[in-house]
Amino acid sequence: MVAKPLTGEQIEELKGLGETHFWPHSRPTGDMSDDTGIKLVTHSKGIWVEGPTGERHVDLIAGMWLKNIGHGRKEIADAVYEQMLDVSYSPGGTVAPATVKLASKVASLTPDPESRVYFVSGGSEAVETAIKMAKKYQYNLGERGRWKVISRQNSYHGATHLCMSLGFNHVNRPNDYGPLVPGNIRISNPGLTYRTLPGDWDMQYAYDLEKAIIDEGPDSVAAFIGEPISAASGIHIPHPEYWPTIREICDKYGIVMICDEVINGFGRTGKMFAVENWGIKPDIMTVAKALTSGYLPIGAAIASSKIGKVMEGEGPQTFKHLLTFGGSPPSCAAGLKNLEIMEREKLVQNSADNGKYLYEKLQELSDHRIVADVRGGMGLIAAVEFAKDKKTFEKFGGKFESRVGHLMEEHSLLGRGLDEIMSFSPPLTITKEEIDFVVDQTKKVITQLEKEF
């Protein structure tokens, strides 16, 4: 089924309703203007999304880093339709086959196939669940004073109060909401700061974890959380020893290591999970988004057997935690079909191969006056950072960021120019020809920016 283009009158009516009643996420309310506002989309297929009058754009960040199998897959719709007719919700104390099958499938893909999977509705819930799980693990071991969590400045782990306290970046504006959740300690992130400082800051920042643990008192720290490759912190590929060192430090002090794979998971970095790039085994992984490629909401906290076993069985050791939509059968049916498609079409391999191709092509942009850095090379996740000064990374400021967004749109690219950084994380189905198109369009965007700034 393909949506028909809307008439001018229908578009105006929808914009009117949106202006008054629709509350968009992380955007100003009421702005549905063609120049600055929320856009209507009415159709999507593959890497493309279409507006109400038929104008097409490449979905450059796969929706919100989740459309890994691309848009418009009928197979997913069929699987969900059948599941909804069979069991659309499993009452308390029951479970649908699709939910059990997906738990087992996901566990089999992780570095610890004996893992146990706790389903939730999205990434923030997955992170909240993982943190509670880590604290309960410590409690069950008799480590009753361990309740603090160490995370990294400028990470993003979600929008709920706890997640905001963990992530603490300017997108969340956490200072606007009163005191943060106590016991969340933030260390530096190898992300954006690395490039303006001399020396090997990635590794310094890894050792900062040990310093923070000692400062806080090792017996008070329950967990550490970080995204393997942080999109919020500029898509910097960390030093090869960064994650193995974090793993060693967590082991040394008995701290639960949580890897937030909400963006990285399910092929984005050229492996099923990003942690495989460094051969590390987290204690808990959080996932969401691409588990269903965004066809239906889902998330999960995946406990390795080390964590899961401590909470097995009936009694005070049980993890008492309940979220109404965790393991929703239609979402799980979508997840199963999504993973089947990813395997059948070898999309993780495509991410590795075409990610490399994309990164090489993006290097062609490096000579431009305003391009300060091109990052990527590990799957289909890359960034082009603009700056007034290539050495100091001084930002243009003013209208630059919004001009990036507008010019991208004018050149058939729908994505992000946040912080004067263009993110490249298209569906994993993208072909080399489509990458050529994306890079050509990006060149045009940059040429125009250079004329204006």
Ligand X SMILES: Cc1ncc(COP(=O)(O)O)c(C=O)c1O
Taking the complex as a whole, the smallest distance from the CB of residue 440 to ligand X amounts, in Å, to 29
3-state secondary structure of 291: helix
Token pair 């997640």: residue: 163
Regarding 235 and contact with ligand X (CB under 6 A), the answer is: no
| Span near ligand X by CB under 6 A; candidates 153-161, 240-248, 300-308, 437-445 | 153-161
Which residue bears the tokens 């400028």?
154
Task: Give the shortest CB-64-to-ligand X separation in angstroms.
Answer: 6
Q: Rounded CA gap, 233 and 166, in Å?
A: 13
Q: Is residue 263 a contact residue for ligand X (CB under 6 A)?
A: yes
User: Of 52 and 238, which has the nearer Cβ to ligand X?
Assistant: 238
Q: Nearest distance from residue 289's CB to ligand X, in Å?
A: 6
The residue at minimum Cβ distance from ligand X is 123
Residues numbered 289 to 308 that lie near ligand X (CB under 6 A) are: none
Give the span between the Cα atoms of 120 and 386, in whole angstroms: 37
Q: Does 262 bind ligand X (CB under 6 A)?
A: yes
Q: Minimum distance from CB of 79 to ligand X (Å)?
A: 21
**CB 121 → ligand X: shortest distance, Å?**
8
Binding residues for ligand X, rule CB under 6 A, total 13
Decide: is 419 part of the binding site for ligand X (CB under 6 A).
Answer: no
Q: Which two tokens stand for residue 419?
A: 């912080």
CB of 177 to ligand X, least distance (A): 16
Instruction: Give the other-Cβ count within 10 Å of 291's Cβ.
Output: 30
Specify the residue, 42 or 423, whose C-beta has the smaller distance to ligand X: 423
Q: Which stretch binds ligand X (CB under 6 A): 68-76, 130-138, 151-159, 215-223?
A: 151-159
Residue 336 C-beta: closest distance to ligand X, Å? 20
Instruction: Quickly count: other Cβ atoms within 10 Å of residue 289's Cβ.
Output: 27
Measure the CA angle with vertex 286, ends 72 and 108; round to 5°.
Answer: 80
Regarding 123 and contact with ligand X (CB under 6 A), the answer is yes
Could you tell me the two tokens for 145?
Answer: 């004073």
Q: Enter the DSSP assignment of 221.
A: E
Contacts of 314 (CB under 8 A, 6+ apart): none
Task: Report, in Å, the least distance between residue 123 CB and ligand X.
Answer: 2
Q: Give the shortest CB-83-to-ligand X separation in angstroms.
A: 21
Whether residue 373 contacts residue 195, with contact meaning beta carbons closer than 8 Å, is answered with yes
Q: Does 430 help bind ligand X (rule: CB under 6 A)?
A: no
Query: Other CB atoms closer than 10 Å to residue 197's CB: what's the count?
Result: 9
- Residue 267 gets the label, from left (phi > 0), alpha (psi -120 to 50) or beta, of left
Cβ proximity to ligand X, 285 vs 439, nearer residue:
285
DSSP single-letter state for residue 46: B
Binding-site member from 122, 228, 234, 427 for ligand X (CB under 6 A): 122
Token pair for 115: 């893992």
Minimum separation from the CB atom of position 264 to ligand X (A) = 8
Rg (CA), the chain: 22
Q: To which residue do tokens 């090997």 refer?
A: 200
Q: Which of 317, 333, 319, 322 is nearest to 125 (CA)?
A: 322
Q: Does 127 bind ligand X (CB under 6 A)?
A: yes
Instruction: For residue 157, state whether it binds ligand X (rule: CB under 6 A).
Output: yes
* 260 touches ligand X by CB under 6 A: yes
Is residue 288 at the binding interface for ligand X, with CB under 6 A as the rule? yes
User: Which residue number, 140 or 151, has a Cβ lying nearer to ligand X?
Assistant: 151
Q: Which two tokens stand for residue 154?
A: 């400028």
Q: How far apart are CA 399 and CA 149, in angstroms?
A: 38
Q: How many CA atoms lie within 13 A of 199 on its CB side?
A: 4
Nearer to ligand X, 25 or 344 (CB): 25
Q: If binding is defined by CB under 6 A, does position 156 make contact with ligand X?
A: yes
Closer CB to ligand X, residue 158 or residue 329?
A: 158
- Bridge partners of residue 58, in order along the sequence: 48, 413
Tokens of 196: 């303006």
Q: Does 202 bind ligand X (CB under 6 A)?
A: no
Binding mask 341-380 for ligand X (x = CB under 6 A): ----------------------------------------
Instruction: Tell whether residue 227 is a contact of ligand X (CB under 6 A).
Output: yes
Q: Residue 296's closest CA among 158, 129, 155, 89?
A: 89
Question: 26 vs 94, which CB is nearer to ligand X?
Answer: 26
Binding residues for ligand X (CB under 6 A): 122-124, 127, 156-158, 227, 231, 260, 262-263, 288
